[in-house]
């Protein structure tokens, strides 16, 4: 199956299977093998879309994929997608326009920065530090491996993408840094670690964006990444790992300071 | 180089050439008629994602049915700004359930990832030749360690994108190491940047770089038609 993010939605619902030896299955087992049904699935679809919107992967005003596309990619019935979209509409996150250029759009007020601020306010310091530890561990391991395995032609190509950064607005710069981070990690040649990084990046990215907007440390994030690229190209795993850990620590520190001042 | 290892290295190169020639040919077989279909479609109105998807789907599904190589995904990647309703687009089918890939609905919005600099797009678009790209971690389509074979599609001398297919390296490893086993020596297949694609030698891991290692000193031969080298260790 393609993306790890869609795998869970593709399992066919379990059918109760007759067992000749146990005509009367244990009650708990009976509940276990109830068809999952599209009720639970609509909630899963809804949660996936809410995450995409609040984390800013789908931006205010952006058009959502069509119901048919969503149903195809998530492996659920169109009616399930419709149900999830209805719930999102009810929560005010999505608006639907009719007509030729119609469709479902992310609501104009769905500002990821507001959601990120709210998420940081609700999250404990412990959880923020733990996220930092997880990120530093995974990303650190990836860049160390990349430093042993990347070819200079590959790191040079990643660096070239960073050169255009000054022509972009803050939002585009953050997206570019996310892309560049994933490209560096992919140079580890490890699919498992890269998938793990994608998940973590999706979680941390809105917080990195918040820090970039509110503390003007975007330049600092870019400098860290540039230094990681240099270390990977120099084949220096320790320098690449240390710089990545520093970047994670600084980000979490900035979030905790933000939390304290806006508390 | 002694005669025995010379024979082995030529045999190893032949195995690799044979293995990759069928998928390349499959893509070459459909890319031209497909390009003609695109040209035709453009005469009757703007070229949209859904029009291209409908044209690609039968070719992609037939490519997934290819025997002899483990094709994981197949399709067409449009040149940047080819389509009227999207800056970039992948018309791609993959996996056991042969489902079309929809990037926008995934956890990280992959739709924004710029593929123009990626090897499987960049090289065939620049050279006009078929290309075996990778191995690399494909975070856009398969999410696995992948080899992508891609050939450019052209309309009136202008490249409109690439037709491609994905092979998962773990499946390629099983196929090729089985074939190499009969040669009676350790065989390592490397790509253009000196990265191990597969090796029968347990000391060499896929993804490692052979640059500056003892492996770089051993007899090697370039495979015809694909930018891959075979290295033979007679020991």
pLDDT tens-digit series, residues A84-136: 899 889 888 899 888 877 888 998 888 888 888 888 999 999 999 999 999 99
Q: How many residues does chain A have?
A: 263
Domain chopping of chain B, boundaries: 3-14+171-233, 21-168
Query: In this complex, do B99 and A179 lie within 8 Å of one another by their Cβ atoms?
Result: no
Predicted pLDDT of residue B53: 95
Which residue has tokens 């609040």?
Answer: A54
Residue from the list A3, A51, A58 with its beta carbon closest to the beta carbon of B143: A3
Q: Please report residues of B whose CB lies closer than 8 A to that of A201.
A: 108
Q: Does B116 touch chain A (CB under 8 A)?
A: no
Whether A37 has a pLDDT exceeding 60, the answer reads no
Query: In this complex, do B195 and A51 lie within 8 Å of one another by their Cβ atoms?
Result: no
Whether B134 has a pLDDT exceeding 70, the answer reads yes
Q: Give how far A128 is from chain B: nearest CA, Å.
A: 20
- B21-168 folds as Beta-Lactamase (3.30.450)
pTM of full prediction above 0.90: no
Between CA B187 and CA B176 the distance in angstroms is 10
Least confident among A123-137, A158-172, B46-60, B108-122: B108-122
A75-80 mean pLDDT: 86
Residue from the list B108, B139, B194 with its beta carbon closest to the beta carbon of A202: B108
pLDDT class of B129 with cuts at 50, 70, 90:
very high
Query: Do B54 and B4 touch, CB atoms closer than 8 A?
Result: no
Cα B56 off chain centre by: 17
CB atoms within 10 A of CB A75: 18
Between CA B160 and CA B78 the distance in angstroms is 6
B16 SS3 class = helix
Strand pairing class (B71-78; B158-168): antiparallel
Query: In this complex, do A2 and B142 lie within 8 Å of one another by their Cβ atoms?
Result: yes
Query: In this complex, do B107 and A5 lie within 8 Å of one another by their Cβ atoms?
Result: yes
Q: What tokens does A114 get?
A: 């507001």
Least confident among A158-172, B8-22, B125-139: A158-172
Q: What tokens does B187 get?
A: 């065989």
Please tell me if the domain spanning B3-14+171-233 has the same topology as the one spanning B21-168. Answer: yes
Residue from the list B137, B194, B195 with its beta carbon closest to the beta carbon of A194: B137
Whether B140 has a pLDDT exceeding 70, the answer reads yes
Sign of CA dihedral B216, B8, B223, B196: negative
Q: What is the mean pLDDT of chain A?
A: 83
Query: In this complex, do B137 and A157 lie within 8 Å of one another by their Cβ atoms?
Result: no
Q: Give how far B72 is from chain A: nearest CA, Å.
A: 9
Whether A17 has a pLDDT exceeding 60, the answer reads no
Looking only at Cα atoms, what is the longest distance across chain A?
70
Residue from the list B94, B105, B194 with its beta carbon closest to the beta carbon of A65: B105
Where would I find the beta strands (DSSP E) of B79-118? Answer: 90-94, 99-100
ipTM over 0.85: yes
User: How much helix, strand and coil, in percent to the nearest 5, is found in chain A?
Assistant: 70, 5, 25
Predicted pLDDT of residue B46: 95
Query: Which CATH code fits B3-14+171-233?
Result: 3.30.450
pLDDT class of B6 with cuts at 50, 70, 90:
confident
Residue from the list B94, B138, B193 with its beta carbon closest to the beta carbon of A151: B193
Q: Give how far B11 is from chain A: nearest CA, Å.
A: 28
pLDDT class of A77 with cuts at 50, 70, 90:
confident
Between CA A126 and CA B234 the distance in angstroms is 57
Predicted pLDDT of residue B122: 95
Q: Please report residues of B whose CB lies closer than 8 A to that of A48.
A: 105, 107
> What does the DSSP 8-state code read for residue A23?
S
DSSP string, A210-248: HHHHHH--HHHHHHHHHHHHHHHHTT-HHHHHHHHHHHH
Could you give the domains of chain A?
Answer: 34-110 (1.10.10.10), 113-262 (1.20.120.530)
Please report how the helices A218-233 and A237-262 are oriented relative to each other, as an axis angle in degrees rounded to 10.
170
Q: Please report residues of B whose CB lies closer than 8 A to that of A157.
A: 117
């Amino acid at each position: 199956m393609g993306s790890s993010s869609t795998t869970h939605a593709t399992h066919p619902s379990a059918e109760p299977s007759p067992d000749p030896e146990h005509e009367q299955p244990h009650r708990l087992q009976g509940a276990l093998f109830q068809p999952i049904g599209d009720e639970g699935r609509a909630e899963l679809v809804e949660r996936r879309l809410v995450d995409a919107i609040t984390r800013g992967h789908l931006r205010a005003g952006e058009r959502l994929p069509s119901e048919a596309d969503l149903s195809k990619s998530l492996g659920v019935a169109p009616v399930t997608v419709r149900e999830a979209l209805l719930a999102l509409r009810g929560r005010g996150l999505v608006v639907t326009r009719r007509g030729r250029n119609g469709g479902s759009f992310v609501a104009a007020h769905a500002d990821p920065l507001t959601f990120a601020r709210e998420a940081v306010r609700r999250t404990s310091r412990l959880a923020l530090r733990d996220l930092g530890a997880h990120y530093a561990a995974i990303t650190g391991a990836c860049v160390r491996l990349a430093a042993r395995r990347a070819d200079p032609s590959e790191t040079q190509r990643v660096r070239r993408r960073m050169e255009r950064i000054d022509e972009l607005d803050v939002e585009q710069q953050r997206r570019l840094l996310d892309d560049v981070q994933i490209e560096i990690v992919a140079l580890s040649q490890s699919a498992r670690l890269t998938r793990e990084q994608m998940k973590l990046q999706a979680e941390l990215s809105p917080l990195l964006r918040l820090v970039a907007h509110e503390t003007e440390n975007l330049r600092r994030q870019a400098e860290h990444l540039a230094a990681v690229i240099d270390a990977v190209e120099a084949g220096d795993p320790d320098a690449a790992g240390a710089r990545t850990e520093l970047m994670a620590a600084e980000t979490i520190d900035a979030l905790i300071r933000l939390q304290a001042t806006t508390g | 180089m002694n005669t025995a290892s010379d024979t082995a290295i030529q045999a190893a190169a032949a195995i690799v050439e044979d293995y990759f020639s069928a998928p390349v040919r499959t893509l070459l077989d459909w890319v031209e008629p497909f390009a003609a279909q695109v040209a035709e479609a453009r005469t009757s109105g703007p070229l949209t994602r859904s029009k291209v998807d409908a044209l690609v789907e039968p070719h992609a599904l037939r490519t997934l049915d290819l025997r002899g190589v483990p094709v994981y995904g197949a399709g067409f990647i449009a040149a940047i700004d080819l389509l009227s309703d999207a800056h970039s687009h992948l018309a791609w089918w993959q996996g056991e359930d042969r489902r079309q890939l929809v990037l926008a609905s995934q956890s990280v919005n992959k739709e924004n990832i710029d593929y123009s600099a990626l090897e499987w797009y960049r090289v065939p678009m620049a050279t006009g030749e078929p290309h075996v790209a990778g191995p690399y971690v494909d975070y856009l389509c398969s999410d696995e360690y992948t080899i992508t074979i891609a050939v450019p599609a052209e309309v009136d001398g202008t490249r409109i994108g690439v037709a491609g297919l994905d092979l998962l390296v773990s499946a390629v490893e099983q196929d090729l190491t089985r074939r190499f086993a009969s040669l009676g020596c350790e065989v390592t297949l490397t790509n253009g940047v000196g990265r191990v694609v597969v090796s029968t030698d347990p000391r060499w891991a896929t993804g490692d770089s052979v640059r500056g290692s003892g492996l770089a000193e051993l007899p090697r031969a370039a495979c015809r038609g694909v930018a891959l080298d075979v290295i033979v260790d007679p020991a």
